[in-house]
Structure 1
Amino acid sequence: MTVDHNNVLTSLERGLAVLSSFDIDRSPVTLSEVARATGLDRSGARRLLHSLVLRGYVRSERGAYALHPRVLEIGNAYLASLALPEIAQPHFAEVSRLLNESVSMAVLDGDEIVFVARVPVGRLMSLTLSVGSRLPAYPTALGRVLLSDRPEDWLDRYLTSTSFKAFTALTMTDRSLLRRELAQIRRQGWAINDQELEVGLLSLAVPIRDASGAIVAAINVSSHTSRFTPAGLVDAGLRPLQLAGERIESALHAERPAGT
């Protein structure tokens, strides 16, 4: 969709920028930090923060600011509008029960994945993941499945503009290697990730396609190297994940046929 910048409400745009400036790993934040993150002057940032406090989306505490639980209403409204997580949950929950491992669903938002459903089993990562959590797409199996379906011109821009950070010694940061990896995932229909996001973490992911054949989400099973080798996770988890994906797609297509 083309954005008509003449119709963009600047105050709303700036308010959303202020909300986006909050880092859940670094909350609360100061007025100076918000101004610096958004590019606003201190007086403009202060006015917007004051408005968000009055609306109940932000709280003020000892000269600093933190998100208020009411901000979840925005994300929950989005999640409530998605039929896919509700359709998918019972199917990939069965995979979790079968393998006794965590299973998640994510969608692509720009160059990040957003978790829209999750069945956790224990704690595999140092990061705390929940519905709404975000991760960069490139070092994750979920992200690579989603990236593999993007058009070549989109991938060209993505590979050119993204800064590829090495999360571990195994993280793939070479752009040409990543492009070849995405082509391989596109051909085989699944992705395996071996400790590229966090040492010890394995992840296997498959796509969820809409009635037109486009990938709209991905589901994965995560495990630890103490439980599986990469090949062992593929042997144990690929077929159950694929069956879950097929059932989710059938239910999704029944609810939203092609062309609707």
Structure 2
Amino acid sequence: MANVTLCFICIGKRVLSKVIKTDDSDKDFLTTFAKGLEVIKSFNDETPCLTVTELAQKVGLSRAAARRFLLTLSKLGYLNQNNGQFSLSAKILDLGYSYLASLNFMERVTPIIEQVARDLNESCSVTVLEDKDIVYIGRASRSRLVSMNLQIGARLPAYVTSTGRIFLATLSDEQLDEFFRDEACKKLTEHTKTAKQIIAEIKKVRVQGYCLVNQELELGMCSLAVPVYNRSHQLILALIVSCNPWLISPEEMLQRFLPVLKSAAQEITLVLP
């Protein structure tokens, strides 16, 4: 259940970033509600606990407004309060679970990715695109994990991930240029490509139908992803296997893993609505 909270908070963060930019003249826009979501997403791994003053500074509220938000959320059961410190309660999981429960096909997808993990003895995951990030919505783990904690709800930048590039490959050349004008494309490792190189890689993905990213996100992590379409040939999900390239080479991943992933993607297509 804890993984679901991460999913809600991460997704809420992106939804909120869009909402906050809405024109103040929009009569259908509830500023107070948007601020409440911003208060919830202020709690994260860096700031699991906040005082009234700390929240006010972080979100840009007056102390009085911050106090009202915190006390309201506490009375509703979404926050715990202890000696002036506020933290998320387990009830917040209900919000994240609502999202995952709405994906009524995941109960049919999960056995498929679990079988892939068993066949390859590597972790297999399903992701979706949310704004400029990919979000993990399903995962079958194996003991040979890379160091990065990639659980349900984990969010990673699309430009530097194999599943992200699968989704970006559906964009037109003009849309890609626009995406990378706004994306910083930080060099996360010595292997991270430049924006120009990444765009070239994405255009290759359109033709080859898969994407392999070797240590651009994190040293010691190589990932291979394939698209998953629904029966109308709309890209819905991306399927990914990650492993340590020092144990299994990228060439071996393409030879052994790619056929298994493509077969699993076809199976998932058949169970999608």
Counterpart in the other structure of 2:130: 109
Instruction: Kindly indicate whether the alpha-carbon contact (under 8 Å) linking 2:144 and 2:243 is maintained by their aligned counterparts in 1.
Output: no
Counterpart in the other structure of 1:71: 92
Deviation at 1:129, TM superposition (A): 2.1
**Partner deviation per Cα, 1:105-162 (whole Å, 9 max, x = no partner):** 0100001111110001125233322211211111111111122123444433321111
Counterpart in the other structure of 2:43: 22
SS of alignment partner, residue 22 of structure 1 = coil
Deviation at 1:6, TM superposition (A): 1.3
Gaps of 5+ in 2: 1-18
Instruction: Classify 1:61/1:122 alpha carbon distance in 2 versus 1 (closer, same or farther; 3 Å).
Output: farther
Instruction: Classify 1:212/1:33 alpha carbon distance in 2 versus 1 (closer, same or farther; 3 Å).
Output: farther
In the TM superposition, what are the counterparts of 1:1-260 in structure 2 within 5 Å?
5-122=26-143, 124-172=145-193, 174-252=194-272, 256=273
Q: Which whole-Å CA distance do the structure 1 matches of 2:186 and 2:123 have between them?
A: 25
Deviation at 1:242, TM superposition (A): 0.2
SS of alignment partner, residue 45 of structure 1 = helix
Letter in 2 for 1:48: F
* TM-score normalized by the length of structure 1: 0.89
Q: Which whole-Å CA distance do the structure 2 matches of 1:131 and 1:204 have between them?
A: 18
* TM-score normalized by the length of structure 2: 0.85
Q: Which whole-Å CA distance do the structure 1 matches of 2:218 and 2:145 have between them?
A: 9
% same residue: 35
Instruction: Kindly indicate whether the alpha-carbon contact (under 8 Å) linking 1:75 and 1:132 is maintained by their aligned counterparts in 2.
Output: no
Q: How many residues align?
A: 251
Instruction: Kindly indicate whether the alpha-carbon contact (under 8 Å) linking 1:105 and 1:118 is maintained by their aligned counterparts in 2.
Output: yes
Instruction: Classify 1:55/1:165 alpha carbon distance in 2 versus 1 (closer, same or farther; 3 Å).
Output: same
Q: Which whole-Å CA distance do the structure 1 matches of 2:76 and 2:168 have between them?
A: 37
Deviation at 1:15, TM superposition (A): 0.4
Instruction: Kindly indicate whether the alpha-carbon contact (under 8 Å) linking 2:127 and 2:137 is maintained by their aligned counterparts in 1.
Output: yes
Q: Provide the alpha-carbon RMSD of the alignment.
A: 2.0
Deviation at 1:29, TM superposition (A): 3.1
